[in-house]
Amino acid sequence: MKLISAVLLGLASMSCVTAKAATASPLLVIHGGAGVERKDFSAEEERAARAALTEALRRGHAELMAGKPALDAVTAAITVLEDDPSFNAGRGAVFTHDGKNELDSSLMDGATLRAGAVAGVHTIRNPILLARAVMEHSPHVMMVGEGAEMFAAEQKIPQVDPAYFRTDKRWQQLQRALKEEAAGQAHADLETAKHFGTVGAVALDRDGKLAAGTSTGGMTNKRYGRVGDSPIIGAGTYADARCAVSGTGWGEYYIRLSVAHEICARMQYLGETPAQAGEDVVVKRIPELGGDGGAIVLSADGRAAMPFNTEGMYRGWIGADGVPHVAIFADEALSAPRE
């Protein structure tokens, strides 16, 4: 009798979870990178960035409201940000020491723990699409360099001439960084600092399933095939049934702390909220080691947080009502949903 009762209780619990998942309210949270400084930010650049963030939210929201999975919303939002030169990803990617644009990206499906990632590619217009192809059409999680581009050609992922990624703003940043390096000087501003800039998205769909994705152009003036946290599952991107995270910041520290997974682990094992876990890892632990940056965090029950420890972070969210909420600087009031 006790066994039957336990089984019935378990079935009832599963039914409750299923019912809850079936009535989940769609939610999308995005970022366009931490490390924004107001003093070096023109009114025109600010307008362009806010417009791009808003468009990314609307594009991802349309996927969610059409009943599409969280993966589709994340991919759609990041594609918009990769196509906009305001951000260090895709067309706005920074330059390496050798004057090239080198792109990294990753994507993870929280419901299945499937993941895909690419690093060090030079011709992929939207690296997030290639990361998804790696996840869905190969037995692997990560591909790099020429091999990843060969796979892209096989999968008919759009490729472009490397000149497509060049913007004068990023080129001038490299020139300043090279001069500072030659003179043995520290970087004069965050715009030329090597470790800032990334785009990302996390989403919750109508079925209560989560996904996360991240894309970046890496570090200004980087050498030796350096790869940061953005394409590394558990460091820059992570999603499971309870939590989804995308990070932005000094990649070496995000890798050392396994930041994305650490936030989700704190939520699972310590019962912390997205705000609590994000605060502990991003605002406390990363700076303690000497790093900086930010993250976006989303839970399966629709709570979100956007912690960062710099003057600004491009960020925004949109819920079922379709109203985009966007902010850039730390002093802007932007309450996260159910924070």
Place of tokens 């990294």: 104
Place of tokens 């009114």: 43
Contact 255, 229 (CB under 8 A): yes
Contact 294, 190 (CB under 8 A): no
Residue 282: both structure tokens together: 């991003």
Spatial separation of the C-alpha atoms in residues 203 and 117, rounded to whole Å: 18
Active-site residue among 198, 216, 220, 273?
198
CB burial of residue 312 (10 Å; 0-12, 13-18, 19+): buried
Q: Catalytic residue at 192?
A: no
Task: Give the closest residue to 316 by CA, choosing from 60, 39, 35.
Answer: 60
Spatial separation of the C-alpha atoms in residues 106 and 123, rounded to whole Å: 16
End-to-end Cα distance, the chain: 43
Contact 315, 296 (CB under 8 A): yes
Spatial separation of the C-alpha atoms in residues 138 and 143, rounded to whole Å: 10
Residue 297: other Cβ atoms inside 10 A: 32
Cα pseudo-dihedral 187, 191, 192, 196, rounded to 10: 100
Spatial separation of the C-alpha atoms in residues 201 and 214, rounded to whole Å: 7
Task: Compute the Cα dihedral for 82, 316, 311, 227 and give only its sign.
Answer: negative
Contact 198, 230 (CB under 8 A): yes
Angle between helices 70-83 and 127-137 in degrees, nearest 10:
150
Active-site positions read 198
